[in-house]
């Protein structure tokens, strides 16, 4: 209905002559009455439409219905109402409908242009938003202080520095260079494009800085990897007596996480509690993540337990924190609790669970965890796929790991590295080399982790020449500078091969100071080849680096014991006692029916302890009948041979294997994970047990996989 329509009637008004001289006056009055009546009706409709637009819509259909009412009332060119409809259309998620509304507007004002640009930026259509800005300029309109923030955000997200620079010029010309809402996105633009100094200059020029401005410069420092500067800027923000919002706190806590700065994280935690933000789920989750990455899982758990509301991200961060800090049992216990509380896991939760299963060798539990999310995610999400490959590889099920690898649609370098490392640790070194050849053919640039996998494979298989070649090619062929981890792999390779002098010389020639891992690799070689003199020198360096590590003392004491230098071994034990150093107890894990059982050396607390002891006794008799003689040199103490045999029989891996033999069906593999290196006696004993029982036994210790089948080991005794 058109607003100015006229209604004529063949009938005269009551009390007037049919064709009198006053007919025209009466007709005009009647027309004015009709116009006023129509305007009143339209005005009421417009108010009702405005009310509906302010309330929002539950569906796209409702929005279209209101838009149709505008068209029926002839209000389709009312810029105010049309602007409200346009805003609502972006909330509906139909970008094409928003464009249709805009293009049907004959004379869009600056507000409608701004709404269109803002809406496109809000749904990440940054290129289109800039295209509309160009159209706006061609239409003869200049941007205002509402236009600039969204355009600058689009430039920052697209890293379009040149357009951003032009917009900065316009900002100054238009007189908005002191507007905090315009200058703040300029800070983001310069920081995002790598011009941090310019970003800081723009920030310093803002006369009235608000929390958003401070957050912008803090985020700029974080994105540039300058985490210490970000924390310092946060301190300055507090000095200005401004109250940060949750986003600011999340960002600065991420800086503490990257720095591993527990002290700064703790005072930020205290501040969060003081201002009453401790109940915020986003801040709480960031605190958990910070504590986990700083290695303080007790504080992380304390924050987690105090959170009144936990979302799936909170659970995932906590589970992954346990997994990454070497606490797989705690990670799985929390996962079970999460299941009891009916919280549905996401892909990040499953990554933490699979990582824990990999560490414990819990293959059945890992398989069950994969059923909790869509199987296709393992082939479309590289992070999930990599975690599953790693889990299967560390459980000794390389065929399953390979099947997952083949199914992943888009393989990034991390996926390739995972399968190369898996093949290496499972003894398929030649296959790992072949896969590395495919990486090169595909034109994928390998990284340091690729070479760690290759060098570990060389070390496990005793391929010294190949290891040297890969190590040298890092710099010469791939322009990669070897890190201390690569030197550690080479020292381990040379030490295992008995090339102790060469390994020692490599350490001396390293461009960086050797750490405990590098010296520990050489000490391991000294133990195998009983080079007591070099071992003493190495131990002196290790004690300087980590004086409270019991493993260093125990390893040297074992060397003395093996050479029957009991007095020297006693001195080492005495030194440990004086310093209050406790030997790390041997611990082994085995999974049976989805439950992980833990065994410690000499422990008898397991419910089936009596049966386990009887099984070990039976095995001992059968092994001795087969010619087995316990290698008592691996026992630390100078005691009688009979007692030494008893100590060897109580090693945690033997207890776990005995439990596996009485609990796991004969056609299934027995999988053991140990926290320390398997001793030589246990290695020989397990070979014989596998032959006597006809069982396949897989043991993963701190150094390698051992797959025992019919009296032989995959490591070929090269360890």
pLDDT in tens, 631-656: 655 544 443 433 344 444 578 899 99
| Cα(252)–Cα(509) distance, integer angstroms | 40
How much is the CA Rg of the chain, to the nearest whole Å? 37
Give CA–CA dist 384/391, Å, rounded: 11
CB 295 within 8 A of CB 324: no
Q: Provide the pLDDT for residue 685.
A: 87
Q: Are strands 712-713 and 697-700 parallel, antiparallel or unpaired?
A: unpaired
What is the rounded CA–CA span in Å between residue 411 and residue 7? 74
Q: Which three-class secondary structure state does DSSP give residue 595?
A: strand
Q: Which pLDDT score is estimated for 643?
A: 38
End-to-end Cα, the chain, rounded Å: 92
What is the tens place of the pLDDT at every residue in 292-321?
999 999 999 999 999 999 999 999 999 999
Nearest to 350 by CA among 332, 364, 337, 362: 332
Check residue 30 and give its pLDDT: 41
Q: Tell me if residue 697 falls in helix, strand or coil.
A: strand
User: Which residues of the chain carry a pLDDT beneath 50?
Assistant: 1-21, 23-24, 26-42, 635-648, 719
Beta strands in 199-245 (DSSP E): none
Output the pLDDT for position 55. 59
Structure tokens at 526: 């000294």
Predicted local distance difference test score (pLDDT) of residue 54: 54
Here the contacts of 42-51 (C-beta below 8 Å, separation 24 or greater) are 42/3, 42/73, 42/74, 42/75, 45/69, 45/73, 46/73, 46/75, 46/78, 46/81, 49/75, 49/81, 50/81, 50/84
Strand bridging mode 587-592 / 712-713: unpaired
* DSSP 8-state secondary structure symbol assigned to residue 584: P
What distance in Å separates the CA atoms of residue 231 and residue 557, rounded to the nearest whole number?
47
Instruction: For 599, list phi and psi in degrees, rounded to 5.
Output: -125, 135
Structure tokens at 580: 């209050």
pLDDT digit string (tens) for 237-295? Answer: 999 989 999 999 999 999 999 999 999 999 999 999 999 998 899 999 999 999 999 99
What three-state secondary structure class fits 124? coil
Could you give the residue ranges of the DSSP H alpha helices within 361-483? Answer: 363-370, 377-380, 382-394, 398-407, 413-425, 429-441, 448-461, 464-476
- pLDDT for 49 equals 62
Domain map (residue ranges) of the chain: 587-713
Strand partners, 431: none
**Residue 547: per-residue pLDDT:** 80
Question: What is the predicted pLDDT for the residue at 4?
Answer: 40
Task: Record the tokens describing residue 290, joined without a space.
Answer: 């910070």
Q: In 3-state terms, what secondary structure has residue 309?
A: coil
How far is it, in rounded angstroms, from Cα 187 to Cα 663?
A: 65
% of the chain surpassing 90 pLDDT: 58
Tokens, residue 499: 């090339």
């Amino acid at each position: 209905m058109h607003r100015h329509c006229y209604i004529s009637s063949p009938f005269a008004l009551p009390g007037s002559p049919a064709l009198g001289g006053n007919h025209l006056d009466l007709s005009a009055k009647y027309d004015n009455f009709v116009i006023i009546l129509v305007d009143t009706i339209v005005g009421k409709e417009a108010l009702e439409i405005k009310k509906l637009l302010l309330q929002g819509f539950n569906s796209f259909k409702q929005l279209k219905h209101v838009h149709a009412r505008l068209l029926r009332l002839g209000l389709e060119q009312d810029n105010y109402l049309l602007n409200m409809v346009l805003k609502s259309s972006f909330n509906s998620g139909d970008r094409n409908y928003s464009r249709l509304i805009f293009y049907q507007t004959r004379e869009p004002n600056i507000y409608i242009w701004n709404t269109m640009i803002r809406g496109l930026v809000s749904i990440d259509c940054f290129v289109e938003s800039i295209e509309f800005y160009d159209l706006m300029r061609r239409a003869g309109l200049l941007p205002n202080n509402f236009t600039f923030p969204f355009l600058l955000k689009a430039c920052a997200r697209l890293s379009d520095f040149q357009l951003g620079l032009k917009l900065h010029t316009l900002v100054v010309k238009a007189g908005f260079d002191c507007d905090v809402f315009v200058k703040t996105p300029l800070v983001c633009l310069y920081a995002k494009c790598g011009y941090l100094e310019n970003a800081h200059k723009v920030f310093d020029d803002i006369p009235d800085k608000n929390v958003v401005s401070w957050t912008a410069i803090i985020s700029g420092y974080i994105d540039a990897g300058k985490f210490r500067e970000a924390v310092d800027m946060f301190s300055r923000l507090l000095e200005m007596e401004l109250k940060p919002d949750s986003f600011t706190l999340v960002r600065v806590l991420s800086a503490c996480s990257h720095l591993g700065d527990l002290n700064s994280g703790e005072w930020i935690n205290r501040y969060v509690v003081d201002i009453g933000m401790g109940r915020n789920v986003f801040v709480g989750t960031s605190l958990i993540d910070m504590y986990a990455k700083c290695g303080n899982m007790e504080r992380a758990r304390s924050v987690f337990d105090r959170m009144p509301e936990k979302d799936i991200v909170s659970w995932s961060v906590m589970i992954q924190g346990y997994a990454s800090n070497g606490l797989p049992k705690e990670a799985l216990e929390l996962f079970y609790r999460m299941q009891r509380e009916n919280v549905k896991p996401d892909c990040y939760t499953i990554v933490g669970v699979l990582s824990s299963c990999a560490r414990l060798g819990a293959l059945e539990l890992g398989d069950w965890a994969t059923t909790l999310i869509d199987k296709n995610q393992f082939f479309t999400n590289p992070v999930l796929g990599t975690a599953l490959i790693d889990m299967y590889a560390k459980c000794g099920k390389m065929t399953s790991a390979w099947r997952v690898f083949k199914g992943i649609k888009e393989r990034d370098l991390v996926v390739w590295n995972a399968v190369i490392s898996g093949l290496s640790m499972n003894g398929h070194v030649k296959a790992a080399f072949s896969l590395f050849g495919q990486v090169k053919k595909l034109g994928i640039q390998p990284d340091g982790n690729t070479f760690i996998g290759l060098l570990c494979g060389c070390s496990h298989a005793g391929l010294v020449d190949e290891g040297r070649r890969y190590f040298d090619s890092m710099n010469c062929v791939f322009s990669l500078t070897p890190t201390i981890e690569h030197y550690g792999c080479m020292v381990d390779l040379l030490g295992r091969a008995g090339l102790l002098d060469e390994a020692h010389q490599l350490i001396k020639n390293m461009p960086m100071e050797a750490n405990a891992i590098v010296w520990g690799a050489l000490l391991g070689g000294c133990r195998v080849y009983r080079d007591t003199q070099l071992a003493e020198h190495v131990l002196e360096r290790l004690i300087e680096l980590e004086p409270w590590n019991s493993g260093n003392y125990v390893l040297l004491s074992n060397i003395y014991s093996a050479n029957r230098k009991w007095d020297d071994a006693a001195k080492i034990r005495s030194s440990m006692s004086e310093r209050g150093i406790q030997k790390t107890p041997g611990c082994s894990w085995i999974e049976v029916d989805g439950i992980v059982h833990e065994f410690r050396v000499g422990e008898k607390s397991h419910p089936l302890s009596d049966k386990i002891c009887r099984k070990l006794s039976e095995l001992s008799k059968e092994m001795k009948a087969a010619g087995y003689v316990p290698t008592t040199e691996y026992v630390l103490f100078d005691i009688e041979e009979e007692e030494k045999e008893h100590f060897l029989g109580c090693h945690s891996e033997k207890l776990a294997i005995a439990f596996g033999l009485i609990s796991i069906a004969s056609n299934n593999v027995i999988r053991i994970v140990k926290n320390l290196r398997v001793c030589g006696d246990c290695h020989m004993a397990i070979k014989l047990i596998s032959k006597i029982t006809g069982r396949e036994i897989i043991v993963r210790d701190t150094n390698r996989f051992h797959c025992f089948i019919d009296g032989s080991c995959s490591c070929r005794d090269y360890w």
